[in-house]
Amino acid sequence: MTLDTRAEAGAAPASAWPIRLDGVSVTYPNGTAALRDVSLTIDAGEMVSVVGLSGSGKSTLIRAVNGLVPVTSGTVTVGPYTVSGLSGRRLRQVRGHIGMIFQGFNLATRIDVYRNTLVGRFAQAGALRGLLGVPTAHDREVALSALHTVGMLDKVWTRAGSLSGGQQQRVAIARALSQEPSIMLADEPVASLDPPTAHAVMSELERINTERYLTVLVNLHLMDLARQYTRRMIGLRAGEVVYDGPAAEATEADFEQIYGRRIRPQDRLGDRT
């Protein structure tokens, strides 16, 4: 089997995209102000972590980037697009360029790994193929190489529900990779995993960032993971940015400021094994 040249060209994202938030506020319909006037710029190809206590607005921030949560005021810009204000087909098109990984993996458990991965190709499907749900040879190639990248090719026909947590998260990463995204968002990708698996998944994200040259924005609630795997760290507290700087240099005092309390043992995962 020789590689389709389109597949090879397609496997390379056109470029990483920068992310810009300008005075973004999000207030949920029930009145909770989850983000207050957040402005920040993430350069193309950066790997940035967002840390903060539960309820500090980490998920809201990451969801505002791909429009899963509409912003109340301010603008969100990714690459050439302004996300805030988009809807329908245009929004889906932009989302096609942004991969996302979830804490709960969010796979369809009764469906095999192959078809779960192909979900990443949906945004690229033409009208008729979208209607019939038939992937092209190119879609297939991209999905399989994404599975290969995360080392899950041998499980391609297994039902997603019968995989272990770490394996499911790898499939979820492959799903996001098969979008050939310019940005990768991850909302606490390792919070449901045991420590060794958590390190493996974080290394996977790190590798994707360097090998595929993607902008990566990852939510973490553990300080040592943020320090180890990301260069820049953003600290959120009650919906406001209270820290933005190099992750490695963040001191205990910085974390105590982000958390608004003393460091506790459960704020650390433990070392790489």
**Contact residues: another protein, CB under 8 A:** 1-3, 7-8, 11-12, 66, 68, 91-96, 98-100, 102, 104-111, 115-116, 118-120, 122-123, 125, 130-133, 144-145, 148-149, 153-154, 156-157, 172, 175-176, 179, 185, 210-213
Does residue 266 belong to the site contacting ligand ATP (CB under 6 A)? no
Residue number of the CB closest to Mg ion reads 59
Pairing of strands 47-51, 232-237: parallel
Query: What is the C-alpha separation between 217 and 45, in angstroms, rounded?
Result: 10
Does residue 221 belong to the site contacting ligand ATP (CB under 6 A)? yes
Q: How far is CA 15 from CA 27, 45, 49, 135, 209, in A?
A: 32, 9, 20, 24, 12
Site stretch for Mg ion (CB under 5 A), options 11-19, 54-62, 198-206, 224-232: 54-62
Taking the least distance from each CB to another protein, the nearer of 95 and 232 is 95
Contact indicator for 45, 73 with CB cutoff of 8 Å: no
Q: What's the chain's length in residues?
A: 273
Does residue 49 belong to the site contacting Mg ion (CB under 5 A)? no
Q: Which of 59, 149, 168, 228 binds Mg ion (CB under 5 A)?
A: 59
Q: 9-48: which residues touch ligand ATP (CB under 6 A)? A: 28, 30, 32, 34
Q: Which of 1, 2, 5, 54 binds ligand ATP (CB under 6 A)?
A: 54
Taking the least distance from each CB to Mg ion, the nearer of 76 and 236 is 236
CA 170 to chain centroid, in Å, comes to 12
Query: What is the C-alpha separation between 48 and 42, in angstroms, rounded?
Result: 8
At 73 the three-state DSSP class reads strand
Site stretch for ligand ATP (CB under 6 A), options 3-11, 41-49, 50-58, 84-92: 50-58
Q: Which of 52, 79, 135, 235 binds ligand ATP (CB under 6 A)?
A: 52
CA 70 to chain centroid, in Å, comes to 17
Q: How far is CA 51 from CA 75, 138, 243, 258, in A?
A: 22, 38, 9, 8
Site stretch for Mg ion (CB under 5 A), options 53-61, 85-93, 114-122, 235-243: 53-61
CA 78 to chain centroid, in Å, comes to 14
Contact indicator for 145, 7 with CB cutoff of 8 Å: yes
Residue number of the CB closest to ligand ATP reads 59
Binding residues (CB under 6 A) for ligand ATP: these are 28, 30, 32, 34, 52, 54-60, 221
